[in-house]
């Protein structure tokens, strides 16, 4: 099981493309399409926000009722959220245009959008973009990269990866691309992830694998604590690898889940590291916790604390803020058992020992916290459970992106 180059087009039978369709200003890429040569089992997880964007409503119905999809049309620039009935109609029109161009049922077309909330899609440009993209679809690595670039908003780097493994002698691949925090006309951090695989796996097991895996990957990242109206993760499996269909738990399913976790972990970490204004990836590991739920609650509370994140931005070993964020997380624990270590490529240093300051050197701590990826490892001495969360530091650039966008 290993990472390979490429993204959504790495698995057998998946094509992609990304273009500039005139939704963003300045001729930047803003539309992508994904296509499977055959209908694929489709699983999805969506935002828990009460306010759901139109494409979220559209996709959720398809995944839950039809359980199959063959194409995904994505646009960046406008989120198609808080757009009422008109927004829903535009999803249907997009699916219809894609269905006609691709020669498939509109019910096999998923939609996703990211960008400003409240504005209506320029539906003519969307439909003409769909028609432009269809003949350009390709299974090349480059085409996958174009798609990964087209879904970016304020992301500074494209995010795509793939993992290859064998199941019963057959080569199976999972590919993925995602976008993290960003906006054009500033809006919210919208997370979109699109995963493809040629694995033969029933829709039920596919959804089970995805629903379980997001708990330890996408749901463990935070850029600013704001849950988008558009968060969407789609996983399509077209079965072209030719492995024996996975229809129940077992060794094959476990292998598939392990590979899926590699893809999702990679994408999640890279989204966190490329959070708005981020200068570093901030990883929080809570170990020896009493329960997994406790570990998750503590790790997420630390990784989302504004005060912890500004301290990380300042390379400041301000450990009191970490203990404080653990304290208000809602989890019960004994502060006097807590050890804390800071780790990075620059070294490892114990900062807290049994709830009070360890005898550490501030200069060394600052050196460790000056790396591009920084880990806070928190040992609870209360059990055997572990959880890891990923985020980023909170910088002046975050404020600039989100407040001063008119300049």
Question: For residue 216, what are its two tokens?
Answer: 């330890």
Q: How far is CA 218 from CA 109, 180, 229, 231, 398, in A?
A: 24, 10, 15, 10, 21
Q: Which residue, 343 or 393, has its beta carbon nearer to its own copies? A: 393
Active site residue 190: yes
Shortest Å, Cβ 275 to its own copies: 11
Instruction: Tell me: does residue 143 bind its own copies (CB under 8 A).
Output: no
Shortest Å, Cβ 213 to its own copies: 22
Let me know if 170 is exposed, middle or buried by CB neighbors in 10 A (0-12, 13-18, 19+). middle
Question: For residue 172, what are its two tokens?
Answer: 């199976």
Assign residue 230 a region (left: φ > 0; alpha: ψ between -120 and 50; beta: otherwise): alpha
Stretch that binds its own copies, among 123-131, 202-210, 326-334, 341-349 (CB under 8 A): 326-334
Q: How far is CA 124 from CA 94, 121, 127, 128, in A?
A: 9, 9, 5, 6
Place of tokens 């899609």: 121
Stretch that binds its own copies, among 11-19, 282-290, 352-360, 383-391 (CB under 8 A): 352-360
Q: Which of 190, 196, 255, 388 is catalytic?
A: 190
* Candidate list 1, 4, 212, 225; residue touching its own copies; CB under 8 A: 225
Shortest Å, Cβ 310 to its own copies: 4
Of 299, 303, 301, the residue nearest 272 (C-alpha)? 303
Strands 281-289 and 339-344: unpaired
Q: How many residues bind its own copies (CB under 8 A)?
A: 63
Instruction: Tell me: does residue 370 bind its own copies (CB under 8 A).
Output: no
Instruction: Tell me: does residue 347 bind its own copies (CB under 8 A).
Output: no
Stretch that binds its own copies, among 23-31, 111-119, 149-157, 263-271 (CB under 8 A): 111-119
* Candidate list 8, 62, 95, 116; residue touching its own copies; CB under 8 A: 116
Shortest Å, Cβ 31 to its own copies: 21
Of 187, 166, 191, the residue nearest 176 (C-alpha)? 191
- Listed in sequence order, the residues at least 6 apart from 165 whose beta carbon sits closer than 8 Å to its beta carbon are 1, 2, 171, 172, 173, 255, 258, 259
Catalytic residue positions, numbered? 190
Which residues here bind its own copies, judged by CB under 8 A?
A: 48-52, 79, 81-84, 116-118, 186-189, 224-229, 305-307, 310-311, 313-314, 316, 318-321, 323-329, 331-333, 335-336, 352, 355-357, 393-396, 398-400, 402-406
């Amino acid at each position: 099981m290993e990472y390979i180059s490429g993204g959504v087009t790495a698995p057998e039978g998946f094509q992609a493309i990304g273009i500039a369709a005139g939704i963003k200003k300045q001729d930047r890429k803003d539309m992508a399409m994904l296509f499977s040569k055959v209908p694929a089992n489709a699983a999805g997880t969506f935002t828990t926000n009460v306010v759901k964007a139109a494409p979220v409503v559209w996709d959720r119905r398809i995944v839950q009722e039809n359980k199959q999809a063959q194409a995904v049309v994505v646009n960046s620039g406008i989120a198609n959220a808080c757009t009422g009935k008109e927004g829903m109609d535009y999803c249907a029109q997009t699916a219809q245009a894609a269905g006609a161009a691709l020669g498939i049922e509109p019910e096999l077309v998923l939609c996703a959008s990211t960008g400003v909330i409240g504005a209506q899609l320029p539906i003519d440009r969307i439909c003409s973009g769909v028609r432009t993209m269809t003949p350009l679809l390709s299974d090349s690595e480059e085409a996958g990269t174009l798609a990964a670039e087209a879904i970016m908003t304020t992301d500074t780097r494209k995010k795509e990866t793939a993992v290859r493994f064998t199941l019963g002698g057959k080569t199976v691949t999972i590919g993925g691309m995602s976008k993290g925090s960003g906006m054009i006309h500033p809006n919210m951090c919208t997370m979109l992830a699109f995963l493809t695989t040629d694995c033969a796996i029933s829709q039920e097991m596919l959804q089970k694998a995805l629903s379980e895996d997001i708990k330890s990957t996408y749901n463990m990242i935070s850029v600013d604590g704001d849950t988008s109206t558009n968060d969407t993760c789609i996983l399509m499996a077209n079965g072209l690898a030719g492995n024996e269909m996975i229809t129940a738990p077992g060794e094959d399913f476990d292998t598939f889940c392990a590979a899926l976790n590699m893809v999702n972990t990679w994408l999640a970490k890279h989204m966190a590291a490329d959070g708005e204004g981020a200068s570093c990836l901030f990883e929080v590991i809570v170990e020896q916790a009493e329960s997994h739920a406790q570990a998750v609650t503590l790790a997420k509370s630390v990784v989302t604390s504004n005060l912890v994140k500004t301290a990380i931005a300042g390379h400041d070993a301000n450990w009191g803020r970490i203990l404080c964020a653990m304290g208000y997380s809602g989890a019960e624990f004994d502060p006097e058992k807590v050890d804390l270590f800071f780790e990075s490529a620059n070294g490892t240093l114990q900062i807290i020992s049994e709830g009070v300051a360890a005898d550490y050197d501030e200069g060394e701590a600052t050196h460790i916290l000056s790396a591009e990826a920084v880990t806070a490892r928190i040992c609870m001495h209360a059990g055997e459970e572990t959880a890891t969360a990923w985020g980023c530091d909170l910088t002046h650039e975050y404020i600039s992106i989100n407040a001063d966008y008119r300049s």
